[in-house]
A and B are shown apart, each in its own frame.
Chain A
């Protein structure tokens, strides 16, 4: 299985900050990398697909980059509604695997 390593596991930030979350794959996955936002009790929400494509309706302060094994999710100018847990997922090969998540806290 392809292992996805996310860092950091938790992150404290303030409204208006810029934050970066990193995801590393255990092998080359090209751009088959997706990012999700998850709030407690809610359905996870796709933010970014194919490493850098922004989901329709997602604010432009979210961006994704990377290819191969190293990927980043960047959130510019954090808003109160952005405090959540973020997961990366590789879709290069089954079984699809997820990172363990990054909890973004105020």
Chain B
């Protein structure tokens, strides 16, 4: 059974870089039929797709965040990562990683999520 787990600091200072890693277990990240994605949910707000990556390294990002984000993959560790530069309080959110089906583009499964707070 495929599982995803987010990890990283729970507190980041304004203007610094938020870094999270998603570890995939129970299956290979190097699968032809899937992409891997990041989604976030600010407190009291809706879900926002951040971006996605294929195991080859091909990425596509939400234009609203594109200038500040980088998603990368490490197939040797079965992990993919997210970096968000120049964070502000508006980046405070629960961050989820998820597998993205290339057929239909739905997310399943998801990680449990990790809360990242941007505060000095």
Which A residues have a C-beta under 8 Å from some C-beta of B?
32, 34, 36, 41-46, 49-50, 55, 87, 89, 91, 94-101
Contact = CB atoms under 8 A, between A and B. Distances in A.
Interface stretch (B25-33, B44-52, B67-75, B80-88): B44-52
B96 interface: yes
A95 B110 contact: no
B111 A43 contact: yes
B49 A96 contact: yes
B105 A95 contact: no
Contact of B49 (A45, A50, A98): A98
Interface in B11-52: 46-49
A91 B62 CA distance: 13
A46 B96 CA distance: 14
A14 to B, nearest CB: 27
A9 to B, nearest CB: 11
